[in-house]
Amino acid sequence: MDSIWIKGGKRLEGKIPISGAKNAALTLLPCALLTSDKLTLRNLPRLADVDSFGHLLNGLGASTAIEGVKKGEVGRRMTLHAAEIESTVAPYDMVRKMRASVLVLGPMLARAGEATVSLPGGCAIGDRPIDLHLKALEAMGAEIELAAGYVKASAPKGRLPGGDYSFPVVSVGATENALMAAVLATGRTQLFNAAREPEIADLCNLLVAMGAKIDGIGSAHLIIDGVEGLNGTTYDVMPDRIEAGSYACAAAITGGSLELVGARLDDMRAIFTALSHAGLMLEFCENSIRVTADTRLKPLALSTSPFPGFPTDMQAQFMAMLALADGDSFLEETIFENRYMHVPELRRMGADIDIHGRSAIVHGVKGLTGATVMATDLRASMSLILAGLAAEGETEVLRVYHLDRGYERLEEKLSAVGATIERRSAG
């Protein structure tokens, strides 16, 4: 099993290209099921989750052809073609690998009139039920049955009629599934209190490019008028705001200066506001954002919340960064329970952190010390990488298969800006 070895204490400086967004890519891929035409996605990150989703789509009848990076492009391109949906069953052995697999439910139901999808697995950062997905689909006319660990959904007359649904709490995945189901309905669907994350807007923009009719993009009120069919298209995956935020924290924790090429301000205002309050200097260029740390970090008080608030996917990285701040920081995790599993590992490196339920107090220390630590989930693994970059001595991060789910070419990107880091294989 691979690990990441780091010799800390190096100031990072240079440019880091930001890859296509994992969370957007996993939402755009199932759109291939909505049309018999070809769909080509560009700027696609090379990640384990993307590959797993491709295999899932293969099992449903979609072909996938991957090309390397072409001149003038940043990431790979994948052409998907679901001329026919050969199976409407997404089995447990595929879906258990990642929760995003449940996003085939809406598009299969919309196009084929039925779908059977295993209840999802995924990382252990708390209970994330899919009840809101199912309630939204029921409001649009779907009949839902839960049996033997599977969701069986059907449209009584072959196509959903559409309908209105107000989410009791904001849910990104449920909004995405409902959107994809609604675009081929026979009538109008309205989604109230819909998620507003940039990845939702990216999904809407792709669907519109395929011929869907969607109003209210970027707002909490989405209006979808169903169409008879969708066409194929070529579309660029948005840059990964969480990857960009993570590397911004790398500049901060090492006292460095990094230019995040491709990062977009509008996707990351809460992140950059927090970095500014921590004392970072920010320079906004035409196609990049430079983050520079020239003084000791200031403590922060942060609470995670749905977009446009501070993202839960950045909480662990900021905690690592604030472990070296000049004072006490307060963090509150409002989205997921069990998302402080990285804290014991950070403590092994000398961090001083108190946990009280969903709140954490991070007492800034003068320095961290390298240690052997174990990643517990995707973002936790990045927090340990960040701590290792700043720590005195050597750090080895185990179980980095979590990391490979969300960060493309991490060792290569960090090495290019001055880090001493390498991947090591056991045995």
Active-site amino acid positions: 123
CA atoms of 311 and 333, how far apart (whole Å): 10
Q: Are 57 and 63 in contact (CB under 8 A)?
A: no
Phi, psi values for residue 173, rounded to 5°? -60, -40
> Is 131 annotated as contributing to ligand binding?
yes
Ranges assigned E (strand) in 71-179: 76-81, 89-90, 114-118, 143-147, 150-154, 164-166
* 313 annotated as belonging to a binding site for a ligand: yes
Check the annotation: does 198 bind a ligand.
no
Of all helices (H) and strands (E), which one includes residue 403? Answer: none
Here the tokens at position 129 are: 């039920």
Distant-in-sequence, close-in-space partners of 71: CB < 8 Å, separation ≥ 6: none
CB-CB neighbours of 93 under 10 Å: 9
**190 and 216 Cβ atoms separated by less than 8 Å:** no
Q: In 3D, which of 163, 177, 172 has the Cα closest to residue 110?
A: 177
Is 306 assigned to a binding site?
no
d(CA 6, CA 206): 39
As a whole number of angstroms, the distance between CA 242 and CA 318 comes to 11
Has 328 been labeled as part of a binding site?
Answer: no
Residue with tokens 């993570």: 246
Question: Backbone phi, then psi, for 342, in 5-degree steps?
Answer: -80, -15
Between CA 299 and CA 303 the distance in angstroms is 13
Task: Mention every residue, 6+ apart, whose C-beta is less than 8 A from residue 286.
Answer: none
Answer whether 10's CB lies under 8 Å from 253's CB: no
In whole angstroms, give the CA distance from residue 27 to residue 98: 13
Instruction: Determine if residue 99 is labeled as part of a ligand binding site.
Output: yes
Decide if 226 contacts 185 (C-beta within 8 A). Answer: yes
335 is in an annotated binding site: yes
Check the annotation: does 130 bind a ligand: yes
Distance CA 391, CA 169 (A): 39
Q: Which burial class, exposed, middle or buried, applies to 37 when counting CB atoms under 10 A from its CB (0-12, 13-18, 19+)?
A: middle
User: What is the separation, in whole angstroms, between the first and last Cα of the chain?
Assistant: 8
The two three-digit tokens of residue 332, written as one number: 């509150």
| The pair of three-digit structure tokens given for residue 86, joined into one six-digit string | 């050969």
23 is in an annotated binding site: yes
Helix, strand or coil for residue 202? helix
Which parts are annotated binding residues for UDP-N-acetyl-alpha-D-glucosamine? 99, 128-132, 313, 335
Residues that constitute the known binding site for phosphoenolpyruvate: 22-23
Which residues are known binding-site members? 22-23, 99, 128-132, 313, 335
